Amino acid sequence: MLQNGVASFLHYNTLQIEMEKRMTREELNQKKEMVFAFLSSKEYKPFSIKELGAVLQVPAKDKKMFRQVLDELMDEGKIHLDLKGKIKLLSDHVLSGKFMATQKGFGFVRIEGEEEDIFIPAHSTKGAMDGDQVQIALNAHSHGKRKEAEVVSILERGVSMVVGIYSASKSFGFVVADNHKFTKDIYIAKSDTKGAVTGHKVVVEITDYGTEERNPEGRVLEILGHINDPGVDILSVIKAYGLPEEYPDAVMDQVEEVCEEVPEEEKKGRTDYRELQTVTIDGEDAKDLDDAITLTKDDKLYHLGVHIADVSNYVTEYSPLDKEALKRGTSVYLVDRVIPMLPHKLSNGICSLNAGVDRLALSCMMDINAKGEIVSHKIEETVIRVDRRMSYTSVHKIIEEKDEAERAEYKELIPMFELMYELAEILRDRRFKRGSVDFDFPESKITLDEKGKPLDVQIYERNNAHRIIEEFMLAANQTVAEEYFWQELPFVYRTHEVPDPEKILQLNLFVQGFGYSLKTGAEDEIHPKEIQKLIHKVEGTPEEALISRLALRSMKQAKYTTTCEGHFGLAMKYYTHFTSPIRRYPDLQIHRIIKENIHGRLVDKRVEHYRKILPEVTAQASILERRADDAEREVEKMKKAEYMEQFIGECFDGVISGVTSWGMYVELPNTIEGMVRVADIPGDYYYFDEEHYQMVGEHTKKIYKLGQKVRVRVETVEKILRTIDFALVEEGEGAEEEEA
């Protein structure tokens, strides 16, 4: 009975305990059990906290304790406050996940293990912000195909600092976040502005997250500069993503002790390959050269050497350098700068395989037959000396364009380059026969002036010289992964899981509308060769970009794991990242394991050590890789938007690259993409035909579909939001204007 529950609680409170004193854990747990038992009784009806306190007759002096009891029950996931502020028990239909906000107020929650994100209506977010960890209660009667839920509690805030534009008023200020998913302005008290004025880009610490009715509050931590100052835009992205800039003093002190040249004593005991003809092949602007190639051939075999900078010789475990490298996880390549994992003295100096100097390496030496089979190999510590530092452009000119000047400059290397093309083709053919999938989407090359203003945006031209190096790196990564898998030692693998059957089924249904099909096995399992065949069939068709993108989206993201689960996209059973320890922490980590194994130091204690630390290393590396990708993408989108500001009102030819319920994306030949909103499509009321991914005029039945060529006019550009709005124009309109 309700009265019995109240009586029990009051009886407990009559015990001779001084509530002002700190309660023991046992006493607090007893109180939690009794309150929870009352809330679980059949007679209980939902009360607010205040109402419950009144019903239980909690004395004023015990209110702090009473609130602590309720807070702990909430933290343990036993109870929650519903959207009306009533205390309810959490049932089995409550899940936890990451909240992803949208600009329109609604959001989605991503639950680990769930195929689809769960929709959260705008009125059910409970003030959750983008990135928050939340508990949600599934709605029993969800509308539409997607599950719906309401946020019942916020477990952990995902954002504590925000970058945005400050605006001042008489007695306070406020900040509008650059992240358009952060939909509320942040109130800044006058005492917390740090002298910011209207138009300043600032970093704000959130001190109060507010409520659904009340805006969050914060204080200015740092003024980055005025919104129009050169470099402030990219600096804002760096701060927003929490990318580290300066190295701690302890790291720089360790770097100071590193020699600029390799001491003779460090070369002892290593295999000496300095007499082998050796080259690096990279982009013209690359400075951290972490891989070099040697290649010879006899009557039966190709002898390929992939030499990787021995970074672990300088970045020792648990040293300041190692801790900082783990914290960064990867180098980040922004349009105007690189934020390196390792300081320049290492990444561009002693660890970089620069031409003409001795360098320490970890080398994978492979013997490969005419079928592309790696028949034998060895992984060893070496010392090498690169003969020439080559670029992809130069090698392309030498072999494919037969450029006389380039061939004269590098005549002694031409036989090896020809051999590289020969072997790379064999390896590539073998990989394709296995079913390896290549998504060759065009990348952007953005040229900036000295003040960071974009001068040009073009497609980054890839050639076969790029593909040569890719094939050799793939061969080394596969070889190293297979060896350490069979040695059954703790290791870091690069895993690309088999796609979810549901997504493959959806892809198959979609491509059937274009006359294609995917052959699947039991339970819609698929071999990568089927994806490869599809990509080959759509090559050169109007729907190529669409189907290629949808095929890519049907796959899972690659990640780092401690188990060897294979790489679906490459059709490889064994795969790791061995070839870039200057810029990727997982590569550096496995170099340590390999070297300890070479020297016989992987005793039981060290094996157990790696088994213990590697799960956290792989999880953190995967998260930091996503952060770097997101930051790079944001800067690129921002600079593309800034570039298009000069073309407002001008017309260009493009291709429909995406169709959604709110409009169509149109991509220009230089990779810049903008949106034509559905309301701005002239001539009719258009609706989204989801089954065929196209826009259809209600009366005219005119269709706009993926891959279709259209002409657009640049309407508006929002650099901060990284958005470009196009409008469709009639045929012939603006035909005299130039391409962007």
Domain-located, residue 736:
no
> Residue 249: what pLDDT?
96
The DSSP symbol for 386 reads: B
Domain-located, residue 194:
yes
Domain-located, residue 590:
yes
Residues 310 and 370 in one domain: yes
Q: Which tokens is 353 given?
A: 């395989």
Contact 426, 370 (CB under 8 A): yes
Residues 454 and 332 in one domain: yes
Distance CA(109)–CA(116), nearest Å, equals 9
Domain-located, residue 704:
yes
Q: Which tokens is 97 given?
A: 């996940």
Residues 254 and 401 in one domain: yes
Residue 279 predicted with pLDDT over 90: yes
How many other C-beta atoms can be found within 10 angstroms of the C-beta atom of residue 503?
A: 18
Look at 149-153, 171-175, 186-190 and tell me which has the smallest mean pLDDT. 149-153
Q: Which residue has the higher pLDDT, 635 or 73?
A: 635
15 pLDDT band (50/70/90 cuts)?
very low
Residue 277, burial from CB neighbour count under 10 angstroms (0-12, 13-18, 19+): middle
Distance CA(169)–CA(734), nearest Å, equals 44
Which residue from 185, 177, 191, 189 is spatially nearest to 216, judged by alpha carbons?
A: 185
- Give the 3-state secondary structure of residue 622: helix
Residues 115 and 73 in one domain: no
116 pLDDT band (50/70/90 cuts)?
confident
Distance CA(233)–CA(203), nearest Å, equals 13
Q: What are phi and psi of 463, to 5 degrees?
A: -130, -175
> Residue 8: what pLDDT?
44
Quick: pLDDT tens for 643-671. 999 999 999 999 888 888 889 999 999 99
Residue 34 predicted with pLDDT over 90: no
Q: Which residue has the higher pLDDT, 440 or 340?
A: 340
Residues 148 and 191 in one domain: no
> Residue 124: what pLDDT?
86
Residues 32 and 56 in one domain: yes
> Residue 144: what pLDDT?
53
> Residue 513: what pLDDT?
78
311 pLDDT band (50/70/90 cuts)?
very high
Residues 579 and 689 in one domain: no
Query: Across residues 81-104, what is the average pLDDT?
Result: 77
Query: Across residues 104-127, what is the average pLDDT?
Result: 83
Distance CA(107)–CA(128), nearest Å, equals 9
Q: What are phi and psi of 362, to 5 degrees?
A: -110, 115
Q: Which tokens is 176 given?
A: 């509008």
Q: Which residues contact 535 (CB under 8 A, 6 or more apart)?
A: 437, 438, 439, 547, 548, 551
Contact 582, 290 (CB under 8 A): yes
pTM score: 0.83
Residue 19 predicted with pLDDT over 50: no
Residues 83 and 128 in one domain: no
Quick: pLDDT tens for 395-428. 999 999 999 999 999 999 999 999 999 999 999 9
Residues 620 and 676 in one domain: no
2 pLDDT band (50/70/90 cuts)?
very low
Query: Across residues 489-496, what is the average pLDDT?
Result: 97
Residues 213 and 263 in one domain: no
Q: Which residue has the higher pLDDT, 44 or 440?
A: 44
> Residue 115: what pLDDT?
67
Query: β-strand 186-189 against 217-226: which pairing, if any?
Result: parallel
> Residue 349: what pLDDT?
95
Q: Report the Cα 619 to chain-centroid distance in Å.
A: 13
Query: Across residues 355-376, what is the average pLDDT?
Result: 97
Domain-located, residue 505:
no
Distance CA(395)–CA(389), nearest Å, equals 11
Residue 11 predicted with pLDDT over 50: no
> Residue 486: what pLDDT?
97
Q: For the chain, what percent of residues have pLDDT higher than 70?
A: 93
10 pLDDT band (50/70/90 cuts)?
very low
362 pLDDT band (50/70/90 cuts)?
very high
Mean pLDDT of the chain: 89
Q: What CATH number corresponds to the domain at position 187?
A: 2.40.50.700
> Residue 46: what pLDDT?
85
Query: Across residues 239-247, what is the average pLDDT?
Result: 93
3-state secondary structure 679-707: HHCCCCCEEEECCCCEEEECCCCCEEECC
Distance CA(40)–CA(697), nearest Å, equals 56
Distance CA(108)–CA(101), nearest Å, equals 7
Domain-located, residue 125:
yes
20 pLDDT band (50/70/90 cuts)?
very low
Number of domains in the chain: 5
Query: Across residues 462-483, what is the average pLDDT?
Result: 96
Domain-located, residue 199:
yes
Residues of the domain holding 709: 648-728
Distance CA(556)–CA(498), nearest Å, equals 7
Residue 212 predicted with pLDDT over 80: no
Residue 608 predicted with pLDDT over 90: yes
Residue 679 predicted with pLDDT over 90: no
